[in-house]
Every structure is written in C-alpha cells, then in structure tokens.
Amino acid sequence: MEQSLYEKVGGEEAIAKVVDYFYHQLVLKDDSVNHYFEGTDMEKQIRHQTKFISFALGGPHQYSGKSMEKAHEGMNIQPEHFNAIVTHLHDALTHYGVSESDIGQALEKVGSLRDDIQLH
C-alpha cells in the first residue's frame, strides 16, 4: 500500500514544524503578504493551518474549519499574493527535505483551491 503524502512528510508533527517555519520565517517576513496576518492570533492560525494541510495531504483528521471561500472573504487576495504563499509553502517543504515530486503533489492540491481563495 502506497503511503499518503501526509505519511511521507512525517505526519502531523512534521507538518506542524513546516507550518511554523512557513509563517515565522517566510510569510511574516514578506511585506507583500504579511499584512493579511496583522492582528491574527498566530498560534491559533498555525494550529488551524497544520490541521488543514494535514487533511489536504491525506491525513486522518477531517478538516472542520470554514470553507476556503468563507475564510478568505473580503481579503481581496490577488494572484500575486496567492503565488507568494504557494512559493513560501514550497520553500518550507524544501527546507524540511520533502522531495520535489511530493512537493509538486502537495502544491497541486493547494492550487486546486485558488478560485476559492482569490478575489473574495
């Protein structure tokens, strides 16, 4: 039986490290997107994002948060902002040694949400 992406990257504990790095070392230092997180409880955001990415990569937990469209409503996220976040996710996964083929699969799943996240 083939491992899920969730298992390949090391499960929720490893994903939590990736998400923490993603926000603290990349997203929050990027002036083109960090304004979206002003006033955000980052510990809560990191926990939420860890659960979402775990679910998206085939993990055992069901995602029970808001729909992507509702969660990003009114944020006016432009294509360049979405692309910056995808690049940061790629770089965070690379930082933790995830293979390019597995990163490609993960980003394909994230990319499928583009229309629900942008321009609402």
Q: What confidence tens digit (pLDDT) does each residue in 72-108 have? A: 787 778 889 989 999 999 999 999 999 999 999 889 8
Class of residue 91 by CB neighbours under 10 A (exposed 0-12, middle 13-18, buried 19+): middle
Annotated binding residues for heme: 48, 72
User: Rounded to an integer, what distance in angstroms lies between the CA atom of residue 19 and that of residue 96?
Assistant: 11
Residue-level pLDDT at 68: 73
Residue-level pLDDT at 55: 83
pLDDT at 29 over 90: yes
Helix ranges (H only) for 3-74 are 5-9, 11-21, 42-56, 68-71
Residue-level pLDDT at 26: 98
For the chain, the domains span 6-117
**Once rounded to an integer, what is the mean pLDDT over residues 16-38?**
96
Residue-level pLDDT at 69: 75
Annotated binding residues: 48, 72
Helix ranges (H only) for 1-120 are 5-9, 11-21, 42-56, 68-71, 79-95, 100-111, 114-117
Instruction: Read off the pTM.
Output: 0.85
**Once rounded to an integer, what is the mean pLDDT over residues 7-22?**
94
CATH architecture for the domain at 6-117: Orthogonal Bundle (1.10)
CA dist 49 to 1, 2, 61, 63, Å? 27, 25, 12, 10
